[in-house]
Every structure is written in C-alpha cells, then in structure tokens.
Structure 1
Amino acid sequence: MTEEEAFRVVGLLRRAEVRGVVVSGGEPTLLPYLADLLAELSRPLPSGLPGPRVVLSTNGLAPLRTMERILPQLSWIALPLESADAEQHRLMRTGVAPHRARVLRLLEEVRTRHDRVQVKLGTVVTRLNLSGAPDVLDLIEDAWLPHVWKVYQMSETNYGADNRDWLSVGDQQFEDVVARCEKAAANRGIRLEVYRNSKRSGSYLFIDPDGQAVVIDDGQERRIGHLFQEPDMVAAGLRGAIDHTRNAGNFSGTYPDPTAEGAS
C-alpha cells in the first residue's frame, strides 16, 4: 500500500470514529512511514473523543531502534509465539531464525520499558505444535507476561488453502489443546482468549493493500469492492456480512481498554 493510500484509509477510519484498528500484514514494520501513520491514526478525534485503540500485529523481527519510534503510538502490540518446543516453533516460523529468541527479547523490551503498551501473545494451533503450544508461557518470566494470550484454531486464508490438509486441526483436537491452555493461563494469572473457526464469520473486516475491502463470509475471505473506487458496493457488501456486535466483541475481548473499569 502506498503512503498516500494508507493515509486515505486512516482518514476514512477517523471520520467514521472507528474505535479499534489492527495494523497487520504481511509485515507492517517494513513500511518506512509506519510510525507517522500510527501517530495520525491514534491522535484524538475532531469530535473530542480519544483516537482508536491501535494494535500493531508484527512478527517481532524489526530492530529495536525501529520499534522505539513505533511503540509510543500504540495501545497494543500483538506478537506470535507458537510452541515451547524449539523445533516445533522453527517449523512454523521458517526462514526467520532465531525468531523465538527475538520475539522474547521484544516482549521483554515492551514490558520493561513501555508499560503503557499492552501485549497480546498469539499462538496458532496446527498439527505441528499440538504438544508444545499449551506450554509457551513457560518461556516467559513473570515480569514479562502478556496481558492477553489468544489461542487460534488454524484457518487457512484464500491464499493458503493448499496448507489445509497438512496443517489444520479438527475441532476436538483444538478443544483438547484449549483445555491445557486454560490451565496454563490460570496458573500464571493470564487472560486467555480463544479463536474458533465456527465464530469466524461476521467478526472481521479487512482492508487489503490494494484497497479492497474483505470480509469473512461462511468461513471464507470474500472481497466486496474497492474502498474508495466502489464505496456503494462496499457498503452493500458489509450489510449482512458483518455482525457489528460480534465484530466489536472480537476486538474488545482480544484488546480490552486498560482504562475501562474491570479491565485487566
């Protein structure tokens, strides 16, 4: 996405007074303009309301000097950690060694030097990490623990459907892992959120780098039109495809407002 197009998207979201945005990818920290984009997105709205809660979903590989410019603009950062078993993690994060060590280093940095930024740790359950996924918290010292741990049932994108047969796990397999994760989270006092494929539809609205709006419908990604070139088509496509209550609950459950009463 070009810088101009990205700032157009931010302007639209701010005019609509969207309350929460996840900046994801690909890998967004590769964008040279990311810090400026996040600063614009997160500033107070013209109406006087606070800007949206901004989440950066990153693989955790950006140099710390890069993250120092980005972190002050964030409400949350989302980091991946796939298994307590080093080989299982390597199989799921190929080509980016030593990925796990660098994620843990960034987690330590955020928790010790940027306490305003909340941390969500994400673990995607596949056939490769069934045994090691529930133990990822064992890798983390108490002082560095995330605020939320979210465990995802593997769901392939339209671009990754060829991975379904050798990576996906059935509902019962997934629930067995979830039960172990629940015990691990309770033992460490961590809030656990669970992503089940059965709840996927109606929960997500994406804006792709080419400007296309994408929703999850019947478990599949569906493009509903170009955000700026086909606004009427996008508006029509959103009706019935997005459950606003589920969409808001999905965001707030994963990234709760730390200033709200009762938030952890």
Structure 2
Amino acid sequence: MSNPQLRLPDYVDLRLLGRCNLECPFCFGPRHEVPSMSERTAMRVVATVREAGVRGVVISGGEPTLLPYLPRLVEALSRPLPSGEPGPKVVLSTNGLAPLRSMERILPHLAWIALPIESADDEEHRALRIGKAPHRDRVLRLLHEVRKNHARVRVKLGTVVTRRNVDGAPGVLDLIEDERSLPDVWKIYQMSETNYGEDNKELLSISDTAFEQVVERCEKAAANRGVRLRVYRNAGRSGSYLFIDPDCQVVVVQGGRERRVGNLFELDTDIELAVDSARNVGNFVGTYPDA
C-alpha cells in the first residue's frame, strides 16, 4: 500500500531502469545491469507520488523508452487528480533513439521532452554518445517532429560538458537551422562524477574554471538564437534532487554524492530527505518553465 501521508519534494526524478542502448561514459544514471522496475511496482510509485502531491516528475533511467509499459505509465501519471486538479507535469528524459511510432503513444501525455546533443563536432559527439549511429541525426529528426506535430510538448535540449567536447559544445544550436525547431530551453551540464562519470573522471572531468569558459560561449550562442539557457553546476547539485531508483530506493544528493535513504514504500512520514525545497523547485522550474 502507498502512504498518503508521505511527504515528498515538489519535484522528483523517477529512474525506472539502468538498461540503455547507449554506453555514455559520463552517465550518472543507475548501472546498466540494475534490474528494471516492474510495471506493477512502477504503477505503485505513480500512485504514491500523485497522493503525495508531487507537482512534476522527470522520467529517466537508463533509457525509459525501452520499457514496454512506458506509454501506460505516463498516461496514468499525467491524468487529472481525483480532485479535478491537473496531475503532475511529466518530463521524459530520453536519448531520442526510440522509433517515432513508439513516441507517438507517449508524446500526448508529456509536458516536456528532454533530448541530448553533446557537440556540433561529429567526432566529439560520437565519443560521448556511444552505441548507436548516427545518434545526433536521429535526435534532430525527433526534435523537428515534436516541433512540427506536437506543439503542446515543450523541448529541453541538454549538453553535458566534459573535457572531450569543450570545443564543440557551444556550437550545438548551429545544428538547428530552422528557427521553428529551436528548443525552449538549452541546458548546459557540468559532468557529475557519479556512477559511470566517476569511473571516467580522470578522462572526462572538467574544472570549474574550464566549465565557466564554455558556459560563457554558450551564453553568447543562446542569446544569438533567442534560446533560454540554463546552467547546471556541480556545486549546486546537493539538495536539488530526489531520485527513485529501479529498486524503489530513494536517493538524495549530499555533499555532491548520492545517498540512498530507504525504500519509498517504507519511508517514515517525517524522515529527513536532505532535499532543499527552494533548490528543488528552482532546479525544476528553471529547467522546465511554464512559459
């Protein structure tokens, strides 16, 4: 049974699986071998977060479109509450490789879709998005499709800055020639040293100073195209997130590190989750604004 008295932050990240059809060396999601959340359990999680009054959910992984039940989950999560109030705002964070026919079943239930492009330089991008080619072209096709036929769904384009793409990251928007296909938000991430990112930090980590130099160039590029820029810095990660992992463990970030605090269905209503309300809201609303 879910706990209707459970207090959760306004915004949570649901990491349904570790499995992915890419092998990105900077990934901070669960390990690929982690078993996927079953549909039955995922629907229990949906009921729990809705009862807890969660206002927005980012669905990620791993790659969530690999789960056959994903269309049913996003529909159940996004439907109006029994009170008649709107359901949580649903964001799908995907690598963009799912066939369009599959996405057509998911897109009607989304508020936002988050898509990744790491560099305007093809070689740099391939070094970071490993496993399917041409990944970048497929992401751009999906972006154009969403803009053309699903205007209600807003788009966040994400770029993770590592040591391998400092040259090409600021040019990502140059890949989008049609002004009508530009994203609503372009978010620049400093690579986090978590999970696979920790494994490869010696190869990929970027200093704060080097990251700010890339940010400065991205700010100019975004201003030139009239795109809202959002910047993620590792220094601001603590307290901003609550993740629900495939095994239903609740994960928070303290001191820049992920900490598992217990099973979602066994949490005490008064447990200290180490989530800062202002940071949690600011992170989500800044990335996925209403207008």
The TM-score, its normalising length taken from structure 1, stands at 0.94
1: CA distance between counterparts of 2:75 and 2:199?
Answer: 38
Deviations 1:42-68 (A, max 9, x none): 011122211111000000000000001
Matched to 1:236, the amino acid is: I
2:117 aligned to which of 58, 81, 90: 81
Matched to 1:192, the amino acid is: L
- 2:276 maps to 243
- 1:97 and 2:130 equivalent? no
- 1:110 and 2:146 equivalent? yes
- 1:176 and 2:213 equivalent? yes
- Shift in Å at residue 191 of structure 1? 0.3
1:224 aligned to which of 242, 258, 261: 261
2: CA distance between counterparts of 1:195 and 1:213?
Answer: 22
Q: 5+ unaligned residues in a row in structure 1: which ranges?
A: 258-262
2: CA distance between counterparts of 1:160 and 1:123?
Answer: 15
Describe the shift of the 1:159–1:89 C-alpha distance in structure 2 as closer, same or farther (beyond 3 A). Answer: closer
2: CA distance between counterparts of 1:118 and 1:207?
Answer: 24
2: CA distance between counterparts of 1:211 and 1:36?
Answer: 19
Alignment partner of 1:236: what SS?
A: coil
1:70 aligned to which of 96, 103, 106: 106
- 1:32 and 2:65 equivalent? no
Alignment partner of 1:223: what SS?
A: strand
Q: 5+ unaligned residues in a row in structure 2: which ranges?
A: 1-36
2: CA distance between counterparts of 1:201 and 1:231?
Answer: 20
- Percent identity over the alignment is 70
2: CA distance between counterparts of 1:235 and 1:97?
Answer: 47
2: CA distance between counterparts of 1:153 and 1:72?
Answer: 31
- The one of the two structures with greater contact order (alpha-carbon pairs below 8 A, sep at least 6) is 2
- Shift in Å at residue 235 of structure 1? 4.7
1: CA distance between counterparts of 2:277 and 2:171?
Answer: 34
Q: How does 1:1-264 map to 2 (within 5 A)?
A: 1-140=37-176, 141-228=178-265, 230-232=266-268, 235-238=270-273, 241-257=274-290, 263=291
1: CA distance between counterparts of 2:185 and 2:74?
Answer: 22
Deviations 1:26-57 (A, max 9, x none): 00001101011000100111222111110000
Alignment partner of 1:26: what SS?
A: coil
2: CA distance between counterparts of 1:176 and 1:186?
Answer: 16
Equivalences, count: 254
Matched to 2:131, the amino acid is: G
Q: Give the aligned CA root-mean-square deviation in angstroms.
A: 1.0
- Shift in Å at residue 158 of structure 1? 3.4
- Shift in Å at residue 160 of structure 1? 3.7
Are the equivalent residues in 2 in contact too, given 1:83–1:89 (CA < 8 A)? yes
| Structure with greater helix percent | 1
Are the equivalent residues in 1 in contact too, given 2:92–2:114 (CA < 8 A)? yes
Alignment partner of 2:53: what SS?
A: coil
Describe the shift of the 1:256–1:250 C-alpha distance in structure 2 as closer, same or farther (beyond 3 A). Answer: same
Alignment partner of 2:252: what SS?
A: strand
Give every structure 1 segment of 4 or more consecutive aligned residues whose post-TM-superposition deviation is greater than 2 Å.
none
Are the equivalent residues in 2 in contact too, given 1:17–1:45 (CA < 8 A)? no
Matched to 1:136, the amino acid is: V
Matched to 2:229, the amino acid is: L
Alignment partner of 1:193: what SS?
A: strand
1: CA distance between counterparts of 2:118 and 2:179?
Answer: 19
Matched to 1:70, the amino acid is: I
Are the equivalent residues in 1 in contact too, given 2:191–2:197 (CA < 8 A)? no
- 2:18 maps to none
Matched to 1:56, the amino acid is: L
Describe the shift of the 1:227–1:235 C-alpha distance in structure 2 as closer, same or farther (beyond 3 A). Answer: farther
2: CA distance between counterparts of 1:139 and 1:83?
Answer: 9
Are the equivalent residues in 2 in contact too, given 1:158–1:221 (CA < 8 A)? no
Are the equivalent residues in 1 in contact too, given 2:118–2:172 (CA < 8 A)? yes
The TM-score, its normalising length taken from structure 2, stands at 0.86
Are the equivalent residues in 2 in contact too, given 1:215–1:221 (CA < 8 A)? yes
2: CA distance between counterparts of 1:193 and 1:136?
Answer: 14
